[in-house]
Amino acid sequence: MNQLSAHDLTGVHMKRTILLCLTTAAVALTSATTANASTAGDHAMGSQIAKHEGRQTTNGAVRAAGETVPGMDVSSFQGNVDWQAAYNAGARFAIIKATESTGYTNPYFTQQYNGSYNAGMIRGAYHFALPSESSGATQANYFLANGGGWSADGKTLPGAVDMEYNPYGPTCYGLSQASMAAWIRDFSDTYYARTSKRPVIYTSTTWWSQCVGTQGAFADTNALWIANYASTPGPLPYNWTYYTFWQHADGGRFPGDQDLFNGPYSQLQAFARNHD
């Protein structure tokens, strides 16, 4: 009887141990999931647009009106880029991910930002916005503190704010169209107050139509960087009649995403110097 009781007690102990381990693991997983949903991660520009709207990974024929300048945008996913090779292949500008929300900075930013400049490109930086996490002003200031500034050297573009699908939850981050427009305006006004430049707005027409709609006339103040992985830029978001940049593929002859500036190189230089 004593041996049987000891066996039973051992079995109960083992079951309790297993249950405790499973419970601990579940709590840890829940905590990690919650943390991921409320802090910035590392999302490349257009990653969520490609996920929701499809992608074009070749550098096939694209049709743009008038003269254009080829370029690229990169993030940490490209690591240390061979900038001279990209320049030799025809890229004349590069836009580098600097920040996301207020909890992430690109660990390769210095190599990418300075390397593109040193190779002879016109360079710029972008911020991946998470409007559900903090105000537009807070994220603009974080961006500016971590590489998102502008200088009048003729080779540095105004910063860009990346507005696209929420990688963590509801498409529009739980905001109404009016609230989303107000968030973007807050980011833009803060950036302008500190640099005298309005940030370029990167987005897709589909996302903008759903999450911003006709709220705000940003075409009057902000240049547009349209994302459309197709042979043409397609229809533009509300009130814009002209795009400045077009991200037309997420893979091709340059590392990262493939972009075009809408105009000749001299106009790109002018945009870098003084686009407002």
Which residues are designated catalytic? 73, 164
Question: Whole-angstrom Cα distance, residue 236 to residue 20?
Answer: 55
204 contacts 227 by C-beta, under 8 angstroms: yes
Question: Whole-angstrom Cα distance, residue 59 to residue 190?
Answer: 36
Indicate the pairing of strand 68-74 with strand 200-203: unpaired
Q: Most distant CA pair in the chain: distance in Å?
A: 94
Burial of 50 from C-beta contacts in 10 A (0-12 / 13-18 / 19+) = buried
| Closest by CA position to 57, among listed 201, 217, 233, 254 | 254
For residue 146, what are the CA distances in angstroms to 70, 131, 155, 201?
A: 26, 18, 18, 18
Question: Whole-angstrom Cα distance, residue 215 to residue 185?
Answer: 11
Question: Whole-angstrom Cα distance, residue 85 to residue 81?
Answer: 9
Residue type, 72: M
